A and B are shown apart, each in its own frame.
Chain A
Amino acid sequence: GQQVMQIPQYQHVQEGEDFTTYCNSSTTLSNIQWYKQRPGGHPVFLIQLVKSGEVKKQKRLTFQFGEAKKNSSLHITATQTTDVGTYFCAGFDYKLSFGAGTTVTVRA
């Protein structure tokens, strides 16, 4: 069945640095979504990517969908303390499957 994997599981970042988290699917996806969950909160939708090779930006966040529509990445530049949380990708094949998430902590 469909599996969505995220790496790394944990990302500890120095404030101001950049980092990337990756999402890989075992099957070709129709779309991929990204969610953010702040500590103690619930997942909140960030963005959806649909087209092969699509790139979307939200301020310091850049989301990319792979050409084969089997992987995606989230790149955050100039990390801030407000970026703390867990970032989930969710791939839609015949249903939406969530990855295990990348938990981001930031040291000032």
Chain B
Amino acid sequence: GAGVSQSPSNKVTEKGKDVELRCDPISGHTALYWYRQSLGQGLEFLIYFQGNSAPDKSGLPSDRFSAERTGGSVSTLTIQRTQQEDSAVYLCASSLAQGIDETQYFGPGTRLLVL
């Protein structure tokens, strides 16, 4: 079946603008995760959803970042008033459930460049 998809694949925006990133998880996966990966760096956890609720928002860098998930499926990550330090690859992953056997399947990412 289809894997995790993300859109857009690339986004260039001007400092101060808002951006919205989309993630379509694998069908039937109840858990969804957002990560940020700066150039040459590891994975920075942002937020995860179990169904439509977000039990762990601890990784969101500031109040400019927000995320929602509707219908237990698609999720959007919104960054308001973007800053140059927001430039990174934003990765989404989904897993069948949140728990001990939560193999995560990653999407291709959205490469965000803030000018």
Binding site for B on A (CB under 8 A): 30-31, 33, 35, 41-45, 48, 86, 88, 90, 92, 95-101, 103
The reply to whether A96 and B102 form a contact with Cβ atoms under 8 Å apart is yes
Please name all residues of chain A whose beta carbon is closer than 8 Å to the beta carbon of B102 when the two chains form the complex.
Answer: 92, 96
Q: Does B25 touch A at the CB level, under 8 Å?
A: no
Chain B count of residues within 8 A CB distance of the other chain:
21
Please name all residues of chain B whose beta carbon is closer than 8 Å to the beta carbon of A100 when the two chains form the complex.
Answer: 41-42
Please name all residues of chain A whose beta carbon is closer than 8 Å to the beta carbon of B35 when the two chains form the complex.
Answer: 98
Q: Does B14 touch A at the CB level, under 8 Å?
A: no
Q: Does B45 touch A at the CB level, under 8 Å?
A: yes
Please name all residues of chain B whose beta carbon is closer than 8 Å to the beta carbon of A90 when the two chains form the complex.
Answer: 104
The reply to whether B91 and A45 form a contact with Cβ atoms under 8 Å apart is no
The reply to whether A44 and B106 form a contact with Cβ atoms under 8 Å apart is yes
Please name all residues of chain B whose beta carbon is closer than 8 Å to the beta carbon of A98 when the two chains form the complex.
Answer: 35, 42-43, 45
A71 to chain B, nearest CB (A): 18
Please name all residues of chain B whose beta carbon is closer than 8 Å to the beta carbon of A92 when the two chains form the complex.
Answer: 100, 102
Please name all residues of chain A whose beta carbon is closer than 8 Å to the beta carbon of B93 when the two chains form the complex.
Answer: 43
